[in-house]
Amino acid sequence: MPHTLPTLADIEAAAQVVYREFPATPQYRWATLSQRLGADCWVKHENHTPVGAFKIRGGLTYFDQLKQRGEMPREVISATRGNHGQSIGWAARAHGVACSIVVPLGNSAEKNAAMRALGVNLIEHGADFQEAREHAMRLAAERGAHMVPSYHKDLLRGVSTCWWEFFQAVPQLNVVYVPIGQGSGACSAIAARRALGHGARIVGVVSAHATTYADSIAAGRVVEAPVTTELADGMACRVADAAALDVLMPHLDHVVKVSDDEVAQAIRTIFADTHNVAEGAGAASFAAAWQERESLKGKVVGTTLCGGNVDSEVFAKVLANAN
């Protein structure tokens, strides 16, 4: 087990940092989802954080660790498709640190607006997340700013609190489905399971149109893959993170690929059954469970609505079953 994963003591300390900003998010067994799935279907509602996604937990602990080490910078720079950027923007504002975030061209208009509302200097550059990330790294080097990565042990400390809450609240979970973007969510689920000695199987979920993590796990090394998803922007990663891969390979039960059509159907189902809004990555967990529903009969299944930040126009089209 890589030493970079947070321990139970790390996660408990991180929870105290997170809870200064917002309480533990709820998890509910939704009756209609359960009826459809033929299993007890629990949803962890990370769409109920102050930025509408789980990432804020990691931003809070990342900055707390900088502060504890006496390393708080004057400026931070990072790259995102939206939720990580809101997380870093929120935490930077709380600590009085200037924050610039790079997003790819054509990024979600509403996620961009949310970041600007947090005081972020938003920079649009590149055709995809990887190009935005490389530009952010160049800017940080040029300006002497602190580059906040998408995957780091101090981010995992905070994100693990989500799964620590879930596993404690629903100890009977048999299997949980975790979307993989840059890996912090899935690696944190592994960390929390280990810390609590929980027995749930952890299944990774990737977009069928952004398969670097599935391909890399199969190959045992980082394999770049093209990104063509139009709906699951939170999973639109072209190059897997090697450190995340080291954690995921031995500890994921398996990986499920979900198409944009399956994600769209999951968005509609979640809205119909819970009246919660899920973005593409936020619906991917249920989409994977639905794909595997025949093997889940009678099980206790954990899914995560890890983000609800979908643009109004996109959501309206998905609900109308438009292409």
Statement to judge: residues 139 and 176 lie in one domain? no
| pLDDT in the model for residue 323 | 55
Statement to judge: residues 168 and 19 lie in one domain? yes
Question: Is 269 a member of any domain?
Answer: yes
Statement to judge: residues 173 and 139 lie in one domain? no
Residues of the chain with pLDDT under 70: 1-3, 322-323
Question: Is 1 a member of any domain?
Answer: no
Question: Is 175 a member of any domain?
Answer: yes
Name the domain count of the chain.
2
Statement to judge: residues 209 and 291 lie in one domain? yes
Alpha carbon separation from 172 to 43, 189, 301, 322 (Å, rounded)? 14, 15, 9, 38
Statement to judge: residues 112 and 247 lie in one domain? no
Question: For the chain, what is the radius of gyration of the CA atoms?
Answer: 18
Structural domain boundaries enclosing 102: 56-147
| pLDDT in the model for residue 229 | 86
CATH of residue 61's domain is 3.40.50.1100
Chosen domain end from 116, 147, 178: 147
| pLDDT in the model for residue 3 | 56
**DSSP-derived secondary structure for 114-161:** HHHHTT-EEEE-SSSHHHHHHHHHHHHHHHTPEEPPSS-HHHHHHHHH
Question: Is 279 a member of any domain?
Answer: yes
Chosen domain end from 127, 147, 167: 147
Statement to judge: residues 116 and 168 lie in one domain? no
Statement to judge: residues 175 and 254 lie in one domain? yes
| pLDDT in the model for residue 1 | 47
Statement to judge: residues 60 and 199 lie in one domain? no
| pLDDT in the model for residue 313 | 94
Burial tier of 151 (Cβ tally within 10 Å: 0-12, 13-18, 19+): buried
Contacts of 64 (CB under 8 A, 6+ apart): 14, 17
Cβ atoms of residues 170 and 196 within 8 Å: no
Statement to judge: residues 159 and 298 lie in one domain? yes
Q: Name the β-bridge partners of 176.
A: 202, 302
> Beta strands 75-79 and 146-147: pairing type?
parallel
Chosen domain end from 147, 180, 200: 147
Side by side, which strands form the sheet with 75-79? 121-124, 98-103, 75-79, 146-147
In this prediction the pTM is: 0.95
Question: Is 45 a member of any domain?
Answer: yes
Burial tier of 268 (Cβ tally within 10 Å: 0-12, 13-18, 19+): middle
| pLDDT in the model for residue 224 | 92
Question: Is 223 a member of any domain?
Answer: yes
Q: Which residue has the tokens 């954080």?
A: 49
Question: Is 3 a member of any domain?
Answer: no
- Residues across the chain: 323
